[in-house]
Amino acid sequence: MTKEFNVLITGVGGQGVILISELLGEAAVKDQLKVRGSEILGMAVRGGSVTSAIRLGEDVYGPLIPTSKCSALVGMEPSEALRNITCLSKSSLVILNTAVTVPFTVPLGQSSYPSLEAILEKLNKAAERVIQLDAAKLAQEAGSLLTTNITMLGALFGTGRLPIKVSTIKEAIEERFPAKLAPVNMKAFDLGYESCRRALK
C-alpha cells in the first residue's frame, strides 16, 4: 500500500501551476496509484494566487491537503509559498523558486512585499528543509523560459521522495508536449532534477 504523499503547488496565475498537477496525476495513474486533487481556477487566474493539490495514496479521500499534512510544497513564487505555510510540518520539503513576482498593489503603495530572507526564515522554521532554485535561469538554460514549471517538477522528483517513478513522469511529459517541444522540457526537467540532487548532497 502506498503511503500518503501530498504535493501542494503554489504560485501566481500564468506560472503553469496546473500543468504540474496534471502531469503528476497522469503519471500517478500510469503507476497504478490512486490520485486525488483540486485547484482553484476562475477568479484566481487573472494574476491572482493559484494553488493546486495532488494527493497520492490508498487512504486519501478528500481533494484538499489537511493542515500540516503536505509532504512537498512546490513554491513557484516565494510569497505564495509563504501564504500556505500552515500546510507544512517538520517532515515537509519545500522546493522554492526564488524569483519574485510583485503584485500590482505594491507599486500602488497598498501592500508591501517581504524580504526573501524573512520568507526563508519562516519556511525553514516550519519545514524539514527548503531547497532553493533559480528556476527561470535553469529554464533559460534548457532553452525556454516557458519551461520554468517543468524545472520545478524536475526538482520535486530530485528529492527522491515521490512514489511515482522518474521514468513514468518523463513518459507523461513526452506525451503531453508536441515532439518539437518535448526535448526542451525534458532538459528542463533534468536540470531541475540535478539541481535539487546537488542541493541535497
Partner 1 sequence: MKELTITSDAPGERIFVLGNEAIARGAIEAGVQVAAAYPGTPSSEILETLAGVAKELEMYVEWSVNEKVAFEVALAASICGVRAMASMKHVGVNVAHDSLITANYIGAKGGLVLLSADDPWAWSSQNEQDNRYIALQAYMPVLEPSSVQEAKDMMADAFKLSEQFRQLFMLRSVTRIGHARSDIVLGKISREKRKGKFVKNRDWLVYTPREARINKPLMLERFDAIKKAVNTLPYNQLKLVRGAKLGVIGCGLSYSYTLEALKWLGIEDKVSILKIGTPHPLPEELVIKLLKSVKEVLVTEEIDPFVELHVKAIAGEHNIAVKIHGKDLLPRVGELSTRKVTEAVIKLTGAKSPVDFARLDKLAEETTPLLPWRPPALCPGCSHRASFYAIKTASKRVARDYGQDVEAIYPGDIGCYALAYNPPLEAVDTTICMGGSFGIANGLSHVVDAPIVAHLGDSTFFHAGIPPLINAVYNKANITMVILDNSATAMTGFQPHPGTGHTAMGEETVQLKPEDIARACGVKFVEVIDPFDLKAAAKTIEAAIRFDGPAVVVSRRLCTMIDQREKRKRKEPIIPYFVDQDKCSGKCNACIELLGCPAIIKEDGKTIIDQALCTGCGICAQVCPYKAIIEVSQ
Return residues touching partner 1 (CB under 8 A).
Answer: 12-13, 21-22, 25-26, 28-29, 33-49, 54, 59-64, 66-68, 79-80, 82-83, 85-86, 89, 102-108, 110-114, 118-119, 122, 126, 145, 175
Q: Which of 161, 184, 165 is nearest to 174 (CA)?
A: 184
Residue 197 CB, shortest distance to partner 1, in Å, is 28
Residue 58 CB, shortest distance to partner 1, in Å, is 11
| Closer CB to partner 1, 84 or 151, in the complex | 84
| Closer CB to partner 1, 45 or 184, in the complex | 45
Residue 194 CB, shortest distance to partner 1, in Å, is 26
Query: Residue 167 class from Cβ within 10 Å (0-12 exposed, 13-18 middle, 19+ buried)?
Result: exposed
| Closer CB to partner 1, 38 or 98, in the complex | 38
| Closer CB to partner 1, 21 or 149, in the complex | 21
Cell of 46: 487573472
Residue 179 CB, shortest distance to partner 1, in Å, is 15
| Closer CB to partner 1, 39 or 194, in the complex | 39
CA dihedral sign of residues 93, 190, 53, 84 = positive
| Closer CB to partner 1, 66 or 183, in the complex | 66
Angstrom distance (rounded) from CA 168 to CA 70 = 22
Residue 125 CB, shortest distance to partner 1, in Å, is 9
Residue 74 CB, shortest distance to partner 1, in Å, is 16
